[in-house]
Amino acid sequence: MTRLASILAISASLLTGCAMTPRVPDSIPAGVAVHNVAVISVAARTFSRAYTGMTLFNNEYEEMDIRKWRVDQAIESKAKDVLKGMGIQSIDNDNSVDAFEVVNDPKNGYPVWGKVTQPALAYCGKHGLDGVVVIARTSVWDFMSESNQSFSGAGIYARGPVRSVSVLHLVAEAAFIDCKTGKPLATRRLTTSSSDNISEVTKETPRMPSPMIEATRPMAQWTDEQKTRYKGMLERVLSAPIDPTLHKLLNRP
């Protein structure tokens, strides 16, 4: 499948996904005991550059590996601080967390939680956990310019020159995986919104403005200074949504 075809498939799945996938609540049921958990982020293993021009032939997309930026570790650290404030203990992760990366499905743009059932059960048994909070990349439609495009995970999304927009984004979803079943009891889009309305949640997707000129420049031309700046921008956009997202996910006031 070509990159263009993949993007079109993701856009289509954004429109049909709700009808095809059983609804998982935003919050775990009241009374579920949550004392000891792991937080595993695989939302920012890669960084994308997506530029949409006037026609499909002007569209550009590429990705780079950013594991060395340690953005996932920054997400985990922030989440553990939030959990500590709730009175929930969280463990230090080991190298087996890489098994959770399969949750990121490049074909449809959404996390496939069923793929981490066995890794979650194994991790739960190894560490004696009540649950695992997994944060994965997901996709969102271009609500800013109301186009039929979509963007996902960590990266830069730009559209121009008509209805131009250029942002750095972190599009992610958190799930509480129950250690008894390996299945998600709840999932919640990473957002600063406390609303249950998906449109409101979508509009609060973590993002910040990014220069349009940089979005049109191939990654091969990016400088070390530019990459360092993007890393810092990601760390800033991830800080605000984790607290409200986890409080909603874990059904805490």
Phi, psi of 246 (to 5 degrees): -70, -35
Q: Which amino acid is at 62?
A: E
Higher pLDDT pick, 14 / 155: 155
Q: Does 13 have pLDDT greater than 50?
A: no
Nearest to 133 by CA among 173, 193, 73: 173
Q: How many domains does the chain have?
A: 1
CA distance 161 to 140: 21
Strands (E), the chain: 36-41, 46-52, 60-65, 89-90, 131-137, 139-141, 150-159, 165-178, 184-189, 207-209
H/E stretch holding 233? helix 224-249
Q: Choose the weakest-confidence range: 2-6, 107-111, 181-185.
A: 2-6
Instruction: Give CA torsion, residues 149, 106, 125, 127, to 10 deg.
Output: -70
- pLDDT tens-digit profile of 152-168? 999 999 987 667 899 99
- pLDDT tens-digit profile of 180-196? 999 999 999 999 998 88
Q: What is the pLDDT of residue 45?
A: 97
Q: Choose the weakest-confidence range: 31-40, 113-122, 196-205.
A: 196-205
CA distance 242 to 225: 27
Which residue segment(s) compose the domain that 173 sits in? Answer: 3-249
Question: Do the beta carbons of residue 131 and residue 34 sit within 8 Å?
Answer: yes
Phi, psi of 131 (to 5 degrees): -170, 170
Higher pLDDT pick, 16 / 71: 71
Model confidence at 175, pLDDT cuts 50, 70, 90, reads very high
CA distance 42 to 104: 8
Model confidence at 55, pLDDT cuts 50, 70, 90, reads low
Question: Do the beta carbons of residue 188 and residue 204 sit within 8 Å?
Answer: no
Nearest to 171 by CA among 87, 102, 245: 245
- When pLDDT is averaged across residues 95-106 and rounded to a whole number, the result is 92
pTM above 0.75, yes or no: yes
- When pLDDT is averaged across residues 185-210 and rounded to a whole number, the result is 92
